[in-house]
Amino acid sequence: MSLVKEESFQGLIRMFSTNVSGDIKVMYAITAIPGVGRRFANMVIKRAGVDFGKRAGELTQEEVARITEIIEKPLEHGIPVWMLNRRKDYTTGKDVHLTVNHISNTLREDLQRMRKTRRHRGIRHHLRIKVRGQRTKGTGRFSSSIGVSRKK
């Protein structure tokens, strides 16, 4: 016997061109959206005034709209700047929170800019070798640029 009315429950919710599972609690369900982690999701749910015990499928259209509004414009809803995933953007200089396609586009642009200016990090990205100071002798041998190559 289910306590939830079958008419109001949704198996999938479409948010930010992502399918969010309705069976999971709201905080963990919206982490399926790229750019939304658990801590950010926790803050969004608090600001939206949604019950933490609710499943995502039990949300009303109004609650879904509030959550999407807060994720789109977090600074206007009192989420602190340090929680955003793109502070002091290179091109605009503003603090923004990127989601879905904006993350991949921005990462691609950043890497392209690093390659173009011949930064050390950009060169290592281009060669597909370790970027952040890791050792390369024993691990990271998926590329043909370093170490032993596989016999064909």
What value does the mean pLDDT of the chain take?
A: 84
Is residue 68 a part of any domain in this protein? yes
Is residue 4 a part of any domain in this protein? no
Round to whole Å and give the CA distance between 118 and 74: 35
Q: Mind listing the pLDDT tens digit for each residue in 72-120? A: 999 998 899 998 988 888 888 888 888 888 888 888 988 899 999 998 8
Is residue 96 a part of any domain in this protein? no
Q: Show the tokens assigned to 37.
A: 């982690």
| pLDDT tops 90 at residue 43 | yes
pTM (two decimals): 0.74
Round to whole Å and give the CA distance between 54 and 5: 13
| pLDDT tops 60 at residue 68 | yes
Is residue 134 a part of any domain in this protein? no
- Angle between helices 120-127 and 101-116 in degrees, nearest 10: 110
Spatial contact of 129 and 145, defined as CB atoms under 8 Å apart: yes
pLDDT at 67: 92
Give residue for tokens 């173009």.
116
Q: Report the domain count for the chain.
A: 1
**What does the pLDDT average to over 1-23?**
74
Domain of 57, in residue numbers: 12-81
Place 1 in a pLDDT band, splitting at 50, 70 and 90: very low
CATH number at residue 56: 1.10.8.50
pLDDT at 124: 87
Is residue 103 a part of any domain in this protein? no
pLDDT at 41: 93
Is residue 135 a part of any domain in this protein? no
Is residue 39 a part of any domain in this protein? yes
Place 47 in a pLDDT band, splitting at 50, 70 and 90: very high
Round to whole Å and give the CA distance between 43 and 78: 9
Is residue 19 a part of any domain in this protein? yes
Round to whole Å and give the CA distance between 71 and 28: 14
| pLDDT tops 70 at residue 149 | no
For the chain, state the CA radius of gyration. 21
